[in-house]
Amino acid sequence: MNRMGLYGILLMFSAACAIPQQGGMKRSGGLFGPAGAPAQPRSQYVVDETVDVLTDPPGARILINDAPAGYAPVKAAVRRLWRGDPAYPMTLDTVKIEALPVAAGQCVQTGIFGQNSGRTPPQVRFNMTNCPPAGGK
């Protein structure tokens, strides 16, 4: 093997060691993004999690981070980004889960999960009939 090939392999291994070592983290993006635009900065990493969303009664329309995920009960993949500079404390995105009513007597239920860079719970439950009292009391 020639020296240039050996240097290239060593460079790849040394770059891989610079990635923060936390469970489930992956690098996102490549050299170029969509339509040849520059990709996200190399300091962005992702955490992939799975969440089961259950509602009582079942059948509510589920949105995760404002994107449709299906009708409850649903198991959905959630991709969260680490933001910031790896040399400083990075922040992990939160996850917004909404259950939209599909019948009379139900109300929108919303939860924000993963605050303070914590994990998203593996299961989230909403009671669709847990509505505020009429008249604001």
Of 7-11, 81-85, 124-128, which range is least confident? 7-11
How confident is the model at residue 33, as a pLDDT?
Answer: 43
Confidence of residue 136 (pLDDT cuts 50, 70, 90): low
Contact status, residue 62 vs residue 78, Cβ threshold 8 Å: no
Of 33, 28, 122, 37, the closest CA to residue 81 belongs to 28
Q: What is the pLDDT at residue 45?
A: 81
Please give the Cα distance from 132 to 9 (Å, whole number). Answer: 61
Query: SS3 of 88, please?
Result: coil
E strand intervals along the chain: 25-27, 45-56, 61-64, 67-71, 74-83, 91-92, 95-100, 109-113, 123-127
CB 95 within 8 A of CB 113: yes
Amino acid in position 105: G
pLDDT over 70 (residue 11): no
- Residue 48's pLDDT band, with cuts at 50, 70 and 90, is very high
Report, as an integer, the average pLDDT of 90-100: 93
Angle at 77 between CA 29 and CA 63, to 5 degrees: 110
